[in-house]
Amino acid sequence: MELAPADQHRRQRVPRAADRVLRALLLLAAEGQPMTPRQIADRLRVPLSSTYRYLGVLADFGLARPVGNGGQYALGPKTVGLWVSFRRSFDLAAVARPCMVKLAEETEETVLLTVVVQNRAVAIEAVDSPLPIRYSFRIGVERPLYAGASAKALLAFLDEPQIEEALAEARTEAPHLYGGLAEAIARIRADGYAVSEGEVDPGACAVGVPIFGEGNMLEGALSVVAPIYRTGPDRLQFLIEKTVQAAREVEWRLRAPVGGAAHKGRERRGAV
């Protein structure tokens, strides 16, 4: 399995064992059919005994699995989840982007699209404010689910075990937010949106609205971030209304035949 120069440069920063485990996974994916440990060892130019260890690690994490009676290995069930998450995230961003651009133009504020990845909120798309203001929550950045409007708009509609996990983490890592978190979750479920001030960036106010796809499955959250000094009561209400309106537009696009009606997310909890 040949690597491009850029890939070879990145490999220098990866421990050898981890590098070979990942190369075995990528080889299984590229081959598209089951392979024996010997075939994998030959292709990767590593000892057969080491190849069994690498496959054992992948199997433990559900990324590879033995198939048939010939000792072959194929991709495991966890890779399906990775593919679904990858496709869903990019499909969602493509569908949401026009609505985000419109929302940014109407509000002149930064707009973010956030999804849940394990126990974190991760921004997958952003439209910057036309004003010279930048925030720390950017594309690819992950945040705990208990901090910030975009994260809490997701948290409120997750399963109870995930909510309990976030509450436990907040109790340890952010006791100043933990005190009112359970009440905030109930309020978000009732209102259909979240509002936060200074929880991620000091001096920033955010409005987050969950996005539900086909079958009322939670897909992500749309949020607007603005400086607190520009968010008086009337302005905040304006931002809430515009963000809710944009989120409903994204939902309509997701459910439309040409907008990605095949989307599957997390089952909606509560009412919006």
pLDDT per residue over 113-170, tens digit each?
999 987 889 888 899 887 766 677 678 778 899 999 999 999 999 999 999 999 999 9
**Are 171 and 164 a contacting pair, CB within 8 Å?**
no
- Predicted confidence at residue 89, as pLDDT, reads 61
Please give the mean pLDDT across all residues of the chain. 85
- The length of the chain in residues reads 272
The average pLDDT across 58-76 equals: 90
**Are 113 and 96 a contacting pair, CB within 8 Å?**
yes
pLDDT per residue over 170-203, tens digit each?
999 999 888 899 999 999 999 999 999 988 888 8
How does residue 102 score in pLDDT terms, banded at 50, 70 and 90?
very high
- Predicted confidence at residue 222, as pLDDT, reads 97
pLDDT per residue over 237-258, tens digit each?
999 999 999 999 999 998 876 4
DSSP 35: B
Domains identified in the chain and CATH numbers: 5-75 (1.10.10.10), 81-267 (3.30.450.40)
DSSP 229: G
